[in-house]
Amino acid sequence: MIATLKKNKEFNFVYRRGDPRTAPHLVAVVAKSKYGGVRAGFSVSKKIGKRVFPNKGRGRRKEAFRALLPNISGNYCVVFIARASIENAAFSQIMEEMRILLNKHGMLAGDEQ
C-alpha cells in the first residue's frame, strides 16, 4: 500500500522544500522527510482542467509508483504533477518517465539504472 500525502500543508511542504525535475509528461518534486519511508502525492496541472481524465491519470500514476516502490530507498515525500500531455501517454511511458525522475533524484536502489 502506498503512503500518500493528503493534506494541503503536506503538499505545500514538498513544493517549498522540494527539488523539481521534469519529464515530458510528469514533474516530480522531491523533499527529504524526517518520517520513515516514502510518501507520495499526485497532482494535476491546472492546464488539464476539470475533465474526467485527472482521476484516470491519478490511478495510472499510482500503479506505476506502486511498481517502483520496492526499489526506492530512503525517507522522502514526493509529489508527481501530471502535465497536459499525459492524457495521450501509454502506461509504460508513464512508468519509464517516473523511473527516470526517481533515478535523477537518487531515490532508486543501485539495481535500477
> Contact at 8 Å (CB) between 24 and 63?
no
Q: How much is the pTM?
A: 0.87
Over pLDDT 70: what percentage of the chain? 89
* 113 has a pLDDT exceeding 50: no
**In CATH, what class is 3-104?**
alpha beta
Residue 55: what pLDDT? 64
Return the domain boundaries, the chain: 3-104
Residue 112: what pLDDT? 42
> Contact at 8 Å (CB) between 77 and 39?
yes
